[in-house]
Homo-oligomer: A and B are copies of this chain.
Amino acid sequence: VSEFRQNPATKEWVIVAPERAKRPDQFARAGERKPKPAFDKDCPFCRGNEAKTPPEVYRIDRDGDWGVRVVPNKFAALHPTQEPERVRENLYLKVQGFGVAEVVIETPEHHQTLATMAVPAVRDVLMAYLQRYHELAKDDRLDLITIFRNHGERAGTSLEHPHSQIIATPIVPINLRHQIERAQRYSDDHGLCVYCTILLQEQSLEARIVVESRHFIAFEPHASRSPFETWIMPHRHASVFGQITPHEIDDLALVLRMVLAKLYYGIKDPDYNYVTHSAPVDEEGVEYFHNFTEAHNPGGL
Number of copies: 2
Q: A4-B95, A4-B97, A198-B91 are in contact. Are A174 and B13 (CB under 8 A)?
A: yes
The answer to whether A158 has its CB under 8 Å from any CB of chain B is: no
Q: Please name all residues of chain B whose beta carbon is closer than 8 Å to the beta carbon of A78 when the two chains form the complex.
A: 2, 15
Counting contact residues on chain A (CB < 8 A from B), the size range is: 35 or more
Query: What are 9 A-B contacts with C-beta separation under 8 Å?
Result: A1-B82, A2-B82, A5-B93, A10-B174, A13-B173, A20-B77, A90-B201, A91-B222, A178-B178
When the two chains form the complex, which single residue of B94, B175, B223 contacts A92, counting CB atoms closer than 8 Å? B223
Listed in ascending order, the chain A residues whose CB lies under 8 Å from chain B are: 1-6, 8, 10-13, 15-17, 19-20, 75, 77-79, 82, 90-97, 169-171, 173-175, 177-178, 197-198, 201, 205, 222-223
Assembled-state Cα–Cα distance A122/B150 (Å):
41
Report the minimal beta-carbon distance from A154 to chain B, rounded to whole angstroms: 11
Q: Please name all residues of chain B whose beta carbon is closer than 8 Å to the beta carbon of A222 when the two chains form the complex.
A: 91-92
A17 touches B77 (CB 8 A): yes
Q: A77-B17, A97-B17 are in contact. Are A92 and B5 (CB under 8 A)?
A: yes
B79 touches A6 (CB 8 A): no
Q: Please name all residues of chain B whose beta carbon is closer than 8 Å to the beta carbon of A6 when the two chains form the complex.
A: 92-94
Assembled-state Cα–Cα distance A148/B11 (Å):
23
A77 touches B15 (CB 8 A): yes
Assembled-state Cα–Cα distance A91/B202 (Å):
10
